[in-house]
Each structure stands twice: as structure tokens, then as C-alpha cells.
Chains A and B, each alone.
Chain A
Amino acid sequence: MARRKIYKKHDLATLADLTHGQKAKVVKLNTIDKALRRRLLDMGITEGVQIKIKRIAPLGDPYDIELRGYELCLRKKDLSLIDVEVIS
């Protein structure tokens, strides 16, 4: 097992790179699938929104993220399409 890279403040990454408890600001959605993109937007994942990785499922996927005062579960493969700037 390769050690996971730990991303620090001001680093650019995707949401899937972050680990439990980290916070980040959404920079860009790289989703190609229009339906998924719209779904993420509708759920409040818009540019500039703050997201916290609240929990990772016991098996490592999906992630439970916190944004706009509520919690949402997403699969890693979808999270890897969301570019973020790490806050903490």
C-alpha cells in the first residue's frame, strides 16, 4: 500500500483525495454526464461552496460529506470529478 498523499491548505485536489475531517472549497465540476452534473448542482455543490469530509464508509467508499448544513453520500468516482482548493 502506497501512503496516501496528504493535501494541505491551498493545495488543489479533487474531493476524493481528501481524508476524513478535511475541509475544502469547490473550484470546478469536471462532470461530463449532464444529468450527474445537474444533480450535484441541485444538491448545492456549486462553485465556492465549502465542503467537509465528514465520514468515510467502513469499506472506504462512499464518502459522507457535509455542505450547506446537511449531509450527503457520494461515491468516490463521482467525488474525483470535483476540483477543490483545500482549506484545512
Chain B
Amino acid sequence: MKVALIGNQNSGKTTLFNLLTGHNQKIGNWPGVTIERKEGRIRSTDFDIIDLPGIYSLSPYTIEEEISRKYLFEDNVDLILNIIDSTNLERSLYLTTQLLELDIPVIVALNMSDIALQRGIDIDYKYLEEKLDTTMIPISALKKTGVFDLIQVIKSQAYRKNNYTHIYDHELEDCLKKIESEIKHDHERYIAVKLIENDPDFEEFHQNGSKKIVETLCMTYNRDMEQIIADERYRYIENIRDESIKSSKQNMTVTDKLDRIFLNRFLAIPIFILIMFSVYYLAAGPVGSATVNFVIKYMDIFSLWMSQRLDVWGASAWSKSLVVDGIFAGVGAILSFLPQLAILFLLISFLETTGYMSRIAFFLDKVFQKVGLSGKSLIPFIIGSGCSIPAIMSARTIHDETEKKMTILLTPFVPCSAKLPIIVLFAGYFFGDYSGLVSVSLYFFAVIVIILSALIMKTILFKGKTTSFILELPNYKLPNYRYIFKDVFDKVFAFVKQAGSIIVIASIAVWFLLNFSFRLEYGIESSASMLAGIGKLFSWIFYPFLGTFSWEATVSAIQGLVAKEQIVASMAIIAGNSEQVNDGIFIFNSAAFSFFTPASAYAFMVFNLFSAPCFGAIGAMRRELGTTKRMWKAVFFQTGIAWLMATLVYQFLHIFEVVL
């Protein structure tokens, strides 16, 4: 038995899916797109249930609708479970009228039935059942009422087999009948409607007779047939609505009252800034940093204990180094921001489920529209100032594919907290009294780079695509904590699995290259290592903005791929200090780095701020963009922009240095 769960966005689909399946879910992606695909087994049954994307219609225009259409049409679904929002019956039933045209039985679960009652919306379920000839079950996924009944009905298979209802006017119904009789395929009524709508995906089902009928129809109505069908559906729903709903006069809902504050002309922005500041404070600021330091402290203790153990066991020097400097350094990098990540996901999940996130997108859309992004892009940017990894993952909430990809690509341009040591080191040594000003200027630089890159992408990569902003403002809801914690756990786990493997493998690779020569000798000077060889090979890339060939600077920048704070550590090591004292005077007076001038220092900062992010963030990009190819494109785009900016900055500033 295959059950397809389908419904509008914000209808409570995910909550119901989790209730029905408990913990046995398989989460993956639909083939070829980055849209999540969830499958599971309904409790106490052997029925498989699949969670289709949240959609409003089965039109041929969006990826989500495409996926759902294909699945229902081709995958031999035995039952459709259509979840609808009782407080929004009219718009929700529109999708239902489309589902009923398929040759698949439909059960309608009327979610939020308790809230509807509170609002004085009295729904006559029996009348609805009769009219639509399909089983209706009132539930509340949040309060878990009615879900047991729902499972029982599915199990007993005692639901109506909806033998089709008349919903169109006579003329359309007659034509549909004629066309249906010609179609030799299941779902003939559904196909017939699609043929009248001139749906491009169903051309192949046209027969000579049906073509003629549709042409005559178009002549009679002399209007867009898609519109006729939509009008008819809604007219039918309006009639049912008038008969089945007794609604007492609506007074102001809680949502309206809250929106008078949150969406107030003068208060909206200050409140938003306050909320975002709290999120930042808890996740990326002092509180989040404290968790990071806490983990690092214990990781260090553990890694010290491990290295002592290895000494006791008499492990060789290189294997000890592999464990401590390679694997532990890599794993430590991931673990250190796990608590920060969890806090962030928790807050984001909270903002999302309450309905506030949609409102942010609503009132900031105008600003982001100008560069081809959406109001929702701001959230990843803010989080990105703490860490790019959760920031990139939070871009998932952006529905439009183009806007999502652009946001993912731009997020690493926001200087994350790991890049601060670079700024501190260089600005502190070269710009002394002005170091604060220089640090601020780099943030402004980041904003400019983001705007420019967005405009470049808008005009070159995604040219001619204007997206429309259609967003439903959901009612404010109290969050369901069990659901939020589950959501956070899933995301953290997914992150560890994905980014974790990449970081560990990459860390081991960099460790290997740094500690071995090409003749595979261990325990050499860093200048004789393979990484130094690679550095010499690539130092020409850095020449345009360093003014010299420096393998040392090149190698340090490459190590930034493991973690950005590694750049400073690597420079300290190369300068001849294994104690990693990140002291500007010591580093920049050493033979290796004495070539730096204020111009090349600023340029080097710019390059490291905007080039490819660390492996963790690259892993997150890989995951959210969906393909390795797109990931590489993003990495090259970022590095290209960084190189260009650094070179421009250096050449410009260098003129002053020469003149002065």
C-alpha cells in the first residue's frame, strides 16, 4: 500500500507526517533537485507514506508541482491523504478538487479543526463528504486529536472511493465526457481537464476528436482556458462553502493583534533588529562563543590525553602527529561549533514555526528585490557573521531556486568569526592606531562585494528571470517544542554526516602534505614539505596582490581551507614558532613574511575574507546546492571575485606606497 501525503504549505503536513510515522523516516532528495523527499511507514501498519512537497495546485509551472504531479500520475499510489487547513477551507479545497480528478481514492484530513472552532467556523463535515464524495476526518496534528481515527480509517480501508463529482458547468462537463471516452489511460478525467487547459505535459494524450473539442471550446469561451477551469473550481467551492460553513462574525484574531505590533509601520524594523540581535547574541555572539570555547577546551584536554596514551603505547612520531594534528584538529573544528549550530537551528526553527520568518521576508523584500534576492536572504547573511555553515543551511527556507542558489553563494562573503584572527593580526600590525577603522572597512567591503556579486549573477547567470514574490502570511502559532527539537536534531545530524566526512578527509590530506616531503620522509622542515612544493607551484596566483612570489603566504592561505583560523597558525609555524604565538611583530619580522607592506597586507586580508570558505562551508554548499558541479562553480566564483578584488586593492594602494 502506498499513501501519498499532500497539502498546501503551512497546512501542518510535516507535523502530521511525523505523527503518522514516528521515527522511521527515510530522508533524501528528489532526483535531480534539492527538494527534500521524506518517506516512512505509518505506525502499526505496513503502509508506506511519502511526503510530497507543499503545493497549492497541480500546475505545470513549479518544480514542486512537477514532482507531485509526476509522482501521483506515474507511481501507482493507492491512496491520497490530503491535509487541509480548516481555517482556510476555501483555498485549500482548490487543490482537493484537482486531486479528486485522479483515479485514486482521497481522504481529506481537516487539520486545525480545533482552531477553526475557536474562531467560530462551524464546518458541516457530513455535507462536505456528501458533496465531494470523499472521506473527511477532522484532526489537530498539533494536539494529536483525530490522528488515531485517521490511521484506523486508512487501515480498515473503509473510506469512500470518490466516484467523481460534477464541478463544472454543463458545457464543460459534456466536453470532458467526450474527451474522456477517447483516452485509453488511467486518470482519464484528470487528463481530459489537462487537455482543456492546454497543459504542455499532456499533449501526447490528444486524439483527433479531443483536439477538435478543445478547439471548439476555446472558440466558444474566447478566453484563457486555464482561467476558465480555475474560475469554475472556485465557483464550485464557494457554493459548497456557503452550504457547509456557518461562520459567526469574526472578531479580531490574535494574529491580527500581533501583526499590528510586528508589522507596524514604525515598530516593524526596530523589533526585527532587536530579535536579530538576540539571535546573533545567543548564537554567534558571547553565548555561542562561550560554547565554542568550552568544547575547544575539552577537545584540547582530550587530545593531550590521547597523545600521552600514544606515547605510552609507543606509537611512532608520525602516527601520533596524524592523530593529534590531523584527525583531532579536523574533528575539533567540527565539534567546536556543534553547540553553536544547535543553538542557531533552534532559534531559526522557532522563528519559522511561529510564523515570524515569513513576516521578515514580507517587510524586507523591497530592499533585497533590487539585487535579485528575496527578503529571506537576510537571515543567512546575519547568521553568516558567526559561521557560514549553519548560515548556508538556513538558506533552505528560500523557496525560489534562483534566489536560494544566489544566497548560498553570497553567504560566505560575510566575514565569519573564524576570519577575525586574520583581521586582528594584519590590521593590528600594519595599521596600528587605525586598526579599528580598517576592520570596519572590511565589513563595508563585504557588503559592497555582496551587492556587486548579486548584480553580476543577476545579469549574467540568471539573466531575464524575474521572480514573483508570492507568499502566504501564516497565522502566528505557538511552537511545538517536540517538533522543534526533532528538527534541530535532524539538521545537526545531517551536518555532522556531511561536513564531518569532508573536514576529516581534507584535514588528513593537508596534514599529510605539510608533514611529508615528496620522498615521503617524515619530520622535515615545513619548507621541504609537499605543501611547500605546491605553494611554490601556485605562488604566481598570489603575485598580483602580494608583489612577490611567496610560497609561505600561499601555503597559509591553502590551509585556510581546513579552517580560516589556520591561516594565522600556519604563518606562526612557518615563521619558526611552533608555540603558535600569533604575535605580529614576531611573524612580520621573520624572513618569510617581511615582504608584507600595508598594501599587500590589506589585499591579503581581502583575498582570505572572500575566497573559497573552509571545507565545512564548502560541504554545506555541496549539500544545499545539490550537485558537486554547482559546488565547484560556486567555489571558483568566490575565489575569482576574491582574487580580482585583492588585485585591484593592491595595485591601487601600491601606487600610493610608491609615491609616498
Q: Mark B617-644, 1 if CB is under 8 A from A, else 0.
A: 0000000000000000000000000000
A68 is an interface residue with CB less than 8 A from chain B: yes
Q: Is the CB of A29 within 8 A of B59?
A: no
What is the bound-complex CA distance between A15 and B388, given in angstroms? 40
- Closest-CB distance, B567 to chain A (whole angstroms): 40
Q: Is the CB of B226 within 8 A of A39?
A: no
B26 is an interface residue with CB less than 8 A from chain A: no
Q: Is the CB of B226 within 8 A of A49?
A: no
Known contacts A44-B90, A71-B473, A72-B471; is-contact A39 B61 (Cβ 8 Å)? yes
Considering only CB atoms, which chain A residue lies closest to B61 in the complex? A35
B268 is an interface residue with CB less than 8 A from chain A: yes
Q: Write 28 A-B pairs (CB below 8 A) sorted by A numbering.
A: A29-B227, A35-B62, A37-B227, A38-B59, A42-B230, A43-B470, A44-B90, A44-B91, A46-B231, A47-B227, A47-B231, A48-B231, A49-B234, A55-B263, A57-B362, A58-B264, A58-B269, A58-B363, A59-B366, A62-B469, A62-B471, A64-B263, A69-B87, A70-B91, A71-B472, A72-B472, A73-B471, A78-B469
A5 is an interface residue with CB less than 8 A from chain B: no
Tell me the total A-B contact number using a CB cutoff of 8 A.
Answer: 111
Quick one: which of A46, A69, A71, A75 contacts B234, CB cutoff 8 A? A46
Q: Is the CB of B59 within 8 A of A37?
A: no
Q: Is the CB of B90 within 8 A of A68?
A: yes
Q: Which residues of B contact A46 (CB under 8 A)?
A: 227, 230-231, 234
Q: Is the CB of B473 within 8 A of A74?
A: no
Considering only CB atoms, which chain B residue lies closest to A68 in the complex? B90
- Closest-CB distance, B359 to chain A (whole angstroms): 9
Q: Is the CB of A39 within 8 A of B227?
A: no
Interface range, A side: 20 to 34
What is the bound-complex CA distance between A40 and B468, given in angstroms? 10
Contacting residues of chain A (9-37) with chain B, CB-CB under 8 angstroms = 29, 34-37
What is the bound-complex CA distance between A39 and B468, given in angstroms? 10
Q: Which residues of B contact A71 (CB under 8 A)?
A: 472-473
What is the bound-complex CA distance between A57 and B363, given in angstroms? 5
Known contacts A36-B468, A73-B471; is-contact A62 B365 (Cβ 8 Å)? yes
What is the bound-complex CA distance between A17 and B94, given in angstroms? 28
Q: Which residues of A contact B367 (CB under 8 A)?
A: 59
B259 is an interface residue with CB less than 8 A from chain A: yes
Quick one: which of A43, A47, A57, A58 contacts B91, CB cutoff 8 A? A43
Known contacts A38-B226, A42-B56; is-contact A57 B365 (Cβ 8 Å)? yes
Q: Which residues of B contact A48 (CB under 8 A)?
A: 231
Q: Which residues of A contact B234 (CB under 8 A)?
A: 44, 46, 49, 68
Considering only CB atoms, which chain B residue lies closest to A55 in the complex? B263
Q: Which residues of A contact B91 (CB under 8 A)?
A: 43-44, 68-70
Q: Is the CB of A73 within 8 A of B473?
A: yes
Q: Which of B87, B89, B469 has its CB near the most chain A CB atoms (within 10 A)?
A: B469
Q: Is the CB of A69 within 8 A of B470?
A: no
- Closest-CB distance, B29 to chain A (whole angstroms): 23
Q: Which residues of B contact A35 (CB under 8 A)?
A: 59, 61-62
Q: Is the CB of A42 within 8 A of B90?
A: no
Known contacts A55-B263, A69-B90; is-contact A41 B230 (Cβ 8 Å)? yes
Quick one: which of A29, A42, A55, A60 contacts B94, CB cutoff 8 A? A42
What is the bound-complex CA distance between A34 and B59, given in angstroms? 11
Contacting residues of chain B (221-238) with chain A, CB-CB under 8 angstroms = 224, 226-227, 230-231, 234
B580 is an interface residue with CB less than 8 A from chain A: no
Q: Which residues of B contact A42 (CB under 8 A)?
A: 56-57, 59, 94, 230
What is the bound-complex CA distance between A61 and B259, given in angstroms? 16
Q: Which residues of B contact A47 (CB under 8 A)?
A: 227, 231
B249 is an interface residue with CB less than 8 A from chain A: no
Q: Is the CB of A62 within 8 A of B366?
A: yes
Report the 4 A-B pairs with minimum CB-CB distance, sorted nearest first: A42-B57, A41-B230, A35-B61, A68-B90
Considering only CB atoms, which chain B residue lies closest to A74 in the complex? B470
What is the bound-complex CA distance between A16 and B268, given in angstroms? 22
- Closest-CB distance, B401 to chain A (whole angstroms): 13
Q: Mark B58-71, 1 if CB is under 8 A from A, else 0.
A: 01011000000000
Considering only CB atoms, which chain A residue lies closest to B200 in the complex? A34
B589 is an interface residue with CB less than 8 A from chain A: no
Quick one: which of B62, B226, B266, B365 contacts A41, CB cutoff 8 A? B226
Known contacts A55-B259, A62-B362, A62-B366; is-contact A38 B57 (Cβ 8 Å)? yes
What is the bound-complex CA distance between A20 and B231, given in angstroms? 27
